[in-house]
Amino acid sequence: MQKITIAIDGFSSTGKSTLAKQLAKALGYIYVDTGAMYRAIALFAMRNRFVGVENENVAALIKLLPNAKLKFVFNEQLGFAEMYLNGENIEKEIRRIEVSNQVSRVATIEEVRHKLVDMQKEMGKDKGIVMDGRDIGTVVFPDAELKIFMTASPETRAYRRYKELLDKGDKVSYEEVLKNIQNRDYVDSHREFSPLKRAEDAIEFDNSDMGMEEQFDRIYNHSLRVI
């Protein structure tokens, strides 16, 4: 069977990564969560006090970018790859709301995008990959054989994310999560370099009223027709 590239883009907390993981598993493909890469750089910038402080220093972040060594390491038990920054497992830390509040700002920086897009292209050069993010179908793999664009109402997404964070023990309010999502939607869609937008040839899925299982079945069956 020939291998293809599957690009999944869309707004924050639309269930992109859940769908991408399920698809990759069913097809025996590699799964790459590009949001984790932007989150890792955001964490690097926060730890060095380049962002999230009164006098942010983007020039210093750009200068030190080569020092941020990112790596995905597959965790057999979990069944997916975890994000490492300079040898440290940062998977849990990058999901925290503090990082979510900085990541979209960091993702507007052209040099950050170049570094990560180059890595993503390299990871997908042999196809057989499901990658999720904001610019996968438009910038990273414009020739992907299957492109999916996921949406859902901000309230639906905020509620799902709020429940997830509570389950993990994070003390957040629904209002804080909704505000973060609306903020990221705005910054992601209005930035100068590779803004979030649906690729013309992407299939759009609004899953506000659709269960994850039904969504997976529909997209998996569609992918088999493309392959």
Distance CA 211, CA 115 (A): 36
* Angle, CA of 23, 188 and 78, to the nearest 5°: 35
Residue 75 DSSP class = E
**Of these, 5, 14, 22, 34, which contacts ligand C5P (CB under 6 A)?**
34
Identity of the residue, 121 or 217, whose beta carbon is nearer to ligand C5P in the bound complex: 121
Q: Is the CB of residue 132 less than 8 Å from the CB of residue 34?
A: yes
Distance CA 116, CA 107 (A): 10
Phi then psi for 108, rounded to 5 degrees?
-85, -15
Stretch that binds ligand C5P, among 77-85, 101-109, 204-212, 217-225 (CB under 6 A): 101-109
10 binds ligand C5P, rule: CB under 6 A: no
Stretch that binds ligand C5P, among 85-93, 127-135, 167-175, 216-224 (CB under 6 A): 127-135
Stretch that binds ligand C5P, among 19-27, 31-39, 83-91, 169-177 (CB under 6 A): 31-39
CB of residue 188 vs ligand C5P: minimum separation in angstroms?
5
Helix ranges (DSSP H) in the chain: 16-27, 34-47, 58-64, 97-106, 110-123, 154-167, 174-190, 212-226
CB of residue 224 vs ligand C5P: minimum separation in angstroms?
26
* Binding-site sequence positions: 10-18
Positions touching ligand C5P (CB under 6 A) are 12, 34-35, 38-39, 103-104, 107, 133-135, 184, 188
